[in-house]
């Protein structure tokens, strides 16, 4: 094939590759599975219109039998269960479960934990609306 005829094909393939990279989700930071069996991947992070706050979208995975220790967040979180079933334990609240397709809410500062009592991984999509510069999760003893 003539090199002049090949040039438009190369340009189109290059543009397609750049567009693919531009629109795919970006993983900003990933915390490897710890001894608790939980893994968090930050997918997106943006400043909010509320001064000093940011929105953070995180994918969290809990291996079968994994339990997150009691912890808090510096803002409200909304969770969506993509796969599996999670058991949520929050101080002062009844224990509840959320299965695939269901949502849950945890207010800022609420001491809570989550665990996977099932035999398949739990995958969550969690939206954090938190104070900027603070850790997303703070352990509680």
Question: What's the pTM?
Answer: 0.74
- pLDDT band per the 50, 70, 90 thresholds, residue 6: low
The residues with which 30 forms a beta bridge, in sequence order, are 41
Of the two residues 121 and 14, the one the predictor is more confident about is: 121
Q: What number is the average pLDDT over the span 5-24?
A: 48
Residue 122 pLDDT more than 80?
yes
Rounded CA separation 121/107 (Å): 25
Mean pLDDT across 130-136:
92
What's the pLDDT at 28?
A: 42
Go through the domains of the chain in sequence order and give each one's CATH number: 29-139 (2.60.120.10)
Residue 131 has pLDDT above 50, yes or no: yes
Q: Return the pLDDT at 21.
A: 41
């Amino acid at each position: 094939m003539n090199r002049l005829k090949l040039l438009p094909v190369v340009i189109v393939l290059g543009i397609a590759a750049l567009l693919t990279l531009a629109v795919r989700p970006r993983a900003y930071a990933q915390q490897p599975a710890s001894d608790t069996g939980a893994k968090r991947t930050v997918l997106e992070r943006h400043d909010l219109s509320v001064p000093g706050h940011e929105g953070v979208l995180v994918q969290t995975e809990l291996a079968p039998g994994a339990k997150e220790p009691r912890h808090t967040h510096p803002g409200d979180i909304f969770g969506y269960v993509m796969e599996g079933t999670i058991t949520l334990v929050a101080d002062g609240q009844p224990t509840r479960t959320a299965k695939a397709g269901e949502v849950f809410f945890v207010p800022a500062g609420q001491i809570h934990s989550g665990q996977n009592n099932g035999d398949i991984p739990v995958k969550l999509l969690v939206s954090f609306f938190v104070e900027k510069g603070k850790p997303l999760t703070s352990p509680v003893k």
